[in-house]
Structure 1
C-alpha cells in the first residue's frame, strides 16, 4: 500500500478494528424469553440475503436479517498478503468433512456480507443456454423452471446496484442484453497488455471481465492489486454489505441480528410452512417467529440446515424432494 493511501485513510486507526460504518442502524434485541417476531426472516447476509433485503426495504414489511458472523474489521491487515493468506487472519469457518469423513477447511467466511467480502468482484451473467437442459460428462443438468429472458431485467437491476463495469460485445459467449453496462469497462492491467496482444494474434478473443467496483465518478476504487481474496480497506469493492445491506438498513423496517447461528427450522403441524427458526446468539437460545423465511446462507450451509430440520412430516429433511 502506498504512503499516500495510508495517510489518506489514517483516520481508520488500523489497530482499533473499527467497523466500516456504525455497527447497525437498527439492531434486534430478543425479548426476555429469547423470542423475536417479524414478518420476514432472511438467514444469511451475503449476496443473496442482502440483495433480497434491499429489494424489500420499502415494502413496509418488518424484516430481520440473521448473520452468524460479525462485522469484518476495517484495518491495515485487510491489504496484507501475509495477514490474509499467510496467517489466515479472517478465516473463521469451522472444518467440514469430505466423503471419507476427513476434515478440510472450506473456502467460506462468516461475516456481515458473507463471502463477497473476499470475492474478486467479477459478476458475469449466466449464459442463455445455462437455463436449458445440458448434458455434461458428469451427467444431465435439468432445465430451470425459468429462462434467461425471465431474469434479464433483474440482471440489469443487479448490475446497477453493484456498479458493474463492462463492455457488451467483447465476450464471444455473452448472452443478449436489454441495455449497456451501467459503468464503462475497466482496462486490463498493464502487465497483461503484451499477453492480450499475443492471444489476439493467436485468434483468441480476450476480454475484460465485468467488475463490480466503485471506480470512477468519484468512487473510492484505486484499482489496487488486493481485490480477489482480500477485504477492501477502502470499501470500494461492491460487496453485499456495502452495496445492498447498508442501504437496506437505512429503512426503518429492516434490522440485522449478528453472531447468531440458526440450528433448525420448525414447521407448522402440517409440515408445509416454516414458522420458526431456532438458533444461538452468543451461545444463548433465540427463536425467530415470522410469516416467511428466506434461506440464503450458502449452497452447503443452506442444504445442511434443511437436513438438520428433519421432522415427522419430513424425516429426511426439509425440501428433500428437490
Structure 2
C-alpha cells in the first residue's frame, strides 16, 4: 500500500492552498526542447537518486530530455547558484536542498531561499538518534538526562561540523535547554563513516537520517532511540517520535525540492507543479520511494515556500546557538 505523508502539516497553516494554483487555466506551459536539471551534490547520493528518478518521469510525461547535471562544490553553493541565476524560462530547474537554509547563515553565500522559485517538495528526510547495540541508553530521555548531568562525556557524529545532522543533534540539545555541545560533535565525511564508527564503538551517538540507519537498525547492530519527526516512518513504525517524547517537541529533517531560478513566471511554475504532482501520485514513484525506505511526500509551491521560510528561521537559530553564524 502506498502511504503519502502530508508534509504540509509541518509548515504553518497557510491561507493560500497549493491546489488552487493547480486549478488555474494558465498551467499549460510545456518544454519544447531539452531541460537542464541541476543537482548541487554528487552522483550516487540521495539527492542525486531522487532527482534522476524525477527527471526520468518528467521526461516521460513531457516527451523532451531532462538532462541531470551534477554541479558540485562550495558546500552546495555552486549548484544552488547555478539554479538561482539561470534564465527563468523553464529550461533549467534543479534540486534545491535544505542547505539553502544554512549556507547563508555560515557565511558561504548571500543567497537564500528567496533567490530561487520553490515548485514542489519531493523528499523529506527526518534525522534520528541512534546508539550502538551495547549502549546503556534505551530511550532518548535517558540519553539526554546523562548528557545534562555529564556535559561533554558523550560523543556523536553524522556529518561535518555545521552539517544538517550536526544541527539536528545540537538543535535538539538547545531546544531541551542544554548547551548545544553537551554531546561533543566528532565531524565525519557523511553518515556512512559515522555509522561505522558507531558500530565500532568510536562514538556514542549518531544522528543521520533514520533511513540511512535503517539496515543497521533492522539487523540489530544499532538501536534507534528517536525519530526527529511528528509521524512514524512506515518502515520502522515503532521508533519513538521526538515530537512526542521530548518536552520541546523538537523535529528536524533534511529535504529535497524541485525549484527553479529566481522570478520564474507563474504559468511555468504552475505547469511544473502540476506535472510533479502527477509524478508523485504514480505507482513508479511510490515503488521508487519504497525501495529506499522513504515516504511519498506531497507539497506544492505555496506550502513549500512557507516551509522553506520556517526552516530558515529555525536552522538560523540553531546555527547561532552553536556559534557558527557569520
TM-score of the two chains, using structure 1 as the length reference: 0.23
The alignment's TM-score, normalised by the length of structure 2, stands at 0.23
Structure scoring higher RCO (CA < 8 A, sep ≥ 6) equals 2
The structure with more helix, counted as a fraction of residues: 2
